């Protein structure tokens, strides 16, 4: 009898926590992904795009990098990769 009572008590507690979790999730949905934001951006999509375009023009935004900068970045990346490879080889040789 004692074990059965304990099992029932634990099952009730489990049900209670499950319900509490569901309620909390529903409550958080209201703040994390409200539908009103989606509706607002759907209605004002063109206005938003225009604002972004104006901002990019204002700060003189350029999405493409000059070829010189690309070359420098690639060279840096290559050197860094080479150093990592050397370190890994040293560690492997030391550990053997």
pLDDT digits (tens), the chain, 96 positions:
688 899 999 999 999 999 999 999 988 887 777 777 788 888 899 999 999 899 988 888 777 778 888 899 999 999 999 999 998 888 888 876
Distances (CA, A) of 19 to 24, 28, 34, 80, 96: 9, 14, 22, 52, 56
pLDDT, position 1: 66
Classify residue 19 by its DSSP letter: H
Tokens of 64: 């493409």
The reply to whether the predicted model has a pTM over 0.75 is: no
């Amino acid at each position: 009898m004692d074990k059965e009572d304990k099992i029932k008590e634990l099952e009730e507690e489990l049900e209670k926590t499950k319900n509490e979790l569901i309620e909390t999730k529903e409550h958080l949905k209201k703040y994390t992904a409200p539908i009103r934001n989606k509706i607002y951006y759907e209605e004002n999509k063109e206005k938003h795009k225009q604002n972004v375009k104006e901002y990019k023009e204002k700060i003189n935004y350029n999405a493409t990098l000059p070829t010189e900068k690309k070359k420098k970045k690639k060279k840096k990346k290559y050197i860094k990769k080479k150093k990592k490879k050397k370190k890994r080889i040293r560690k492997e040789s030391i550990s053997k």
